[in-house]
Amino acid sequence: MAIAGANLDVNGIVSQLMSIEQRPVAVLNKKEADYQSKISAYGGITGALSSFQTSVQDLNHLEKFQALKATPSDATVFTATAAENAATGNHTISVSSLAQAQKLVATGQLDDTAHIGSGEATKLTFDFGSITGGTFDKASGKFKEASFNASGQGSKTITIDNSNNTLQGIRDAINNAKIGITASVINNGSDSPFVLTLSSASSGQNSSLKVSVEGDKEIGSLLANDPAGTQAMAQTVAAQDAVFNVDGVTVHKPSNSVSEVIPGVTMELLKTAETPVTLNVTRDSSTVSTLVQSFIKGYNDLNKTLQDLSSYNSETKQGAVLQGDSTVRLLQSQLKSVLNTPVSNTGGAYTTLSQVGITFQKDGSLAVDTSKLNAAIEKNPTDVASLFVTVGKPSDPLLSFNTADSNTKAGTFPVKINRLATHGSFAGCEDVDTLTIKSGKNDELNVTVDGVTAAITLTPGEYTEDNLAKEIQSKINGASTISAAGVSVSVIHDRYGIVITSNSYGSKSTVDVTGNGAWNLMGEDPICTIGWDVEGTINGTTAKGTGQVLTATDGAALGVKVTVKGGNEGERGQVNYSQGYAYKLNNFLTSMLSKEGPLEGRKNGINTSIKDIASHRDTIQQRLPLQEARYRKQYSSLETMLSNMGKTSSYLSQQLANLPRPY
């Protein structure tokens, strides 16, 4: 009798058993793949949110809603740009002459590297001003019986000696000094071909040059040029202003770059023209429309991403990777909540997107009626801006809203001014002792403006009271330490004397003057006045004043900054502060994308689950070889046992077969 199982397929049995043992690993692998798909899906959402936020941030700028464009009917005559403070309208402009700088030409020389004169140290003094009266001989390039009137820009000096007394050396000395004059050496091909030319770096009738020479006579005979006296150089181009007519008013300007003739409009004059050119200043609705279109596209792309990742396909009967995900549902509902909630405190015509042509579609996307949007921008650009950005609208035209901060709440904030800001000044209490400024006598001033000090030297000469005031102002504002600090002064002569006023406002606005010219200009007892900061309240709470700026320091208006440009003390109306959709969306998207936001929290939770799966899988995989060894040992023993049983069975069968048969 044979015993079955004496030859077991141990490898096959163990392999099948290990397949069963590995099923938990396959389950974990599938779960990990699902989690990885969700991580990838959240990454797609993060990317879509970031892209949408970019379009939101592009829209979140008030100045873009206030943009205007200036369009001339003939752009070959002039070009124009308009700032946000320009007024829309049409203007008629004709250009009679363009501004130009004076050009002077010296007598030709045989060699531009040959030394001129003895090399004696020679001072060249350059003054800027206007030439009036007399006549000009075009053939010689010289004036007769003319007058030169200094413009108050101050004298500029350089020194010529044996190191640079050639045409090239003089040219380089002038150019390297950076004194507002450009020098060139030109070869005209004549018997004395090398000609030194001088040109003012500035255009306008006050840019004419007077060149004084102290020292070498040969240098003087080459360069000395006084339109009212000796003229060694010839004028080839006259300094002149740009002359043009705006709406019937003739205007003179020293430059072809013209601003503030039409408030907020800058023009670049290119050529003269007999035919008037029309300038149209209009709202630049195309810029805002483009930004709104980008905003809508960004939202629609985000909306599609969210729907694709969380929808259910009824045809395939399969749900997307984030179907039913609570974080996605929260994100979708909060986005719609922001866009469906009217904006409060706009103080304008619009509080919802639908009022400017932006509406939700059945599929959850946004669409825009461009015609309706453009019409709204043309009619009420600030009101449209209030829908999207943070806008503060003061009811008083002499108040301007600056900024607010993240703590400011939307609201209506009354403003009261207790004291207006003032300038600091330094005023003479008696008239100028003498209008003659002499070198080393009364020409030096040590001036401190808003805490910044500079030593200046007035140009010696005879002045009128107004021209002396201009000279003082020019020298102070031209001092390197003063200009570098961004401070400046205004100087006038009133019935009491010279008054130097800081152009800044507030308690840091100060002026002080010492030096050998101080007594001459300001008298024995000048009056020093320190500026005052503005004082007042915003929303009923005392605000901090800095110069003309009043800042709310408490309450709902915390962080609101208002510039008080003037007006009266007392109640000054209110500021309507609104926070538009772009502002709110940007804050919402920032919170969603932050490291502490729900998306990162969800991804962190999934990553923790993935780590747990990896740990569990590692434990199982570490146990599998041991389990396989146990199975092999068990079934190998079973095979041996069955083999032995088979042998025993064979033996017994043989023995039974050998037993005597009964009869």
Q: Are 42 and 85 within one domain?
A: no
pLDDT at 528: 93
The CA distance from 225 to 223, in Å, is: 6
Structure tokens at 411: 């609201």
Q: Are 156 and 119 within one domain?
A: yes
Last residue within a domain, chosen from 471, 496, 529: 529
Q: Are 82 and 131 within one domain?
A: no
Enclosing domain of residue 463? 425-529
Q: Are 163 and 83 within one domain?
A: no
Residue 184 lies in a domain: yes
Residue 89: count of CB within 10 angstroms of its CB: 12
Element (H, E) at 149: strand 147-150
CATH code of the domain covering residue 432:
2.60.40
Residue 33 lies in a domain: yes
Q: Are 197 and 173 within one domain?
A: yes
Tracing tokens 């008696």 back to the chain, one arrives at 430
Q: Are 462 and 483 within one domain?
A: yes
pLDDT at 597: 85
Residue 498 lies in a domain: yes
pLDDT at 1: 40
First CA to last CA distance, the chain: 23
| pLDDT tens-place string over residues 490-510 | 999 988 889 999 999 999 999
Residue 305 lies in a domain: no
Phi, psi of 594 (to 5 degrees): -70, 165
Residues in the chain: 663
Q: Are 262 and 211 within one domain?
A: no
Q: Which residues of the chain have a pLDDT value below 50?
A: 1-5
Over 488-549, what HEC string results?
CEEEEECCCCEEEEECCCCCCCCEEEECCCHHHHHCCCCEEECCCCCEEEECCEECEEECCE
Last residue within a domain, chosen from 240, 275, 301: 240
Residue 389 lies in a domain: no
| pLDDT tens-place string over residues 42-58 | 888 999 999 999 999 98
Q: Are 234 and 108 within one domain?
A: yes
Q: Are 517 and 450 within one domain?
A: yes
pLDDT at 6: 53
pLDDT at 321: 84
pLDDT at 115: 95
**DSSP alpha helix (H) spans, 367-479:** 370-379, 381-388, 465-478
Residue 265 lies in a domain: yes
Q: Are 125 and 170 within one domain?
A: yes
Residue 326 lies in a domain: no
Question: For the chain, what is the domain count?
Answer: 4
pLDDT at 152: 67
Q: Are 443 and 525 within one domain?
A: yes
Residue 39 lies in a domain: yes
pLDDT at 426: 94
Q: Are 190 and 228 within one domain?
A: yes
Last residue within a domain, chosen from 507, 529, 551: 529
CB 647 within 8 A of CB 655: no
